[in-house]
Amino acid sequence: MSGTAYVGIGSNLDDPLAQCEAGLAALQGLALEPVAGSPWYGSTPLGPAGQPDYVNGVARLRTALAPAALLAALQRIETERGRRRDGPRWGPRRLDLDLLLHGAHQCAGPTLTLPHPGLTHRNFVLVPLLDLAPDLRLPDGTPLRVIAGRLGRQGLWRLRSPGAAGTGVLPPLAGPVRVR
Ligand code: ROI
Cβ distance 129 to 118 under 8 Å? no
pLDDT number for residue 161: 59
Which whole number is the average pLDDT over 36-48? 96
Give the nearest ligand 1 atom to 8 CA.
6
* Model pLDDT for residues 58-103, shown as the tens digit of each residue: 999 999 999 999 999 999 999 999 888 888 888 889 999 999 999 9
**Top mutation candidate among 24, 51, 56, 97 for ligand 1, by most atoms within 8 Å of CB:** 56
pTM across the whole model: 0.90
Cβ distance 29 to 38 under 8 Å? no
pLDDT number for residue 2: 82
Domain 3-179 class? Answer: alpha beta
pLDDT number for residue 118: 96
- Compute, in angstroms, the gap from residue 1 CA to the centroid of ligand 1: 31
* Model pLDDT for residues 103-136, shown as the tens digit of each residue: 999 999 999 999 999 999 999 999 999 999 999 9
pLDDT number for residue 159: 95
Domain boundaries of the chain, sorted by first residue: 3-179
Closest C-alpha to 95, from 2, 173, 8: 8
Which whole number is the average pLDDT over 12-21? 96
- Compute, in angstroms, the gap from residue 11 CA to the centroid of ligand 1: 8
* Model pLDDT for residues 133-150, shown as the tens digit of each residue: 999 999 999 999 999 999
- Compute, in angstroms, the gap from residue 84 CA to the centroid of ligand 1: 15
Q: Does the structure show a pLDDT above 80 at 162?
A: no
Ligand 1: list residues with CB < 6 Å: 10, 43-47, 54, 56, 90, 96, 124
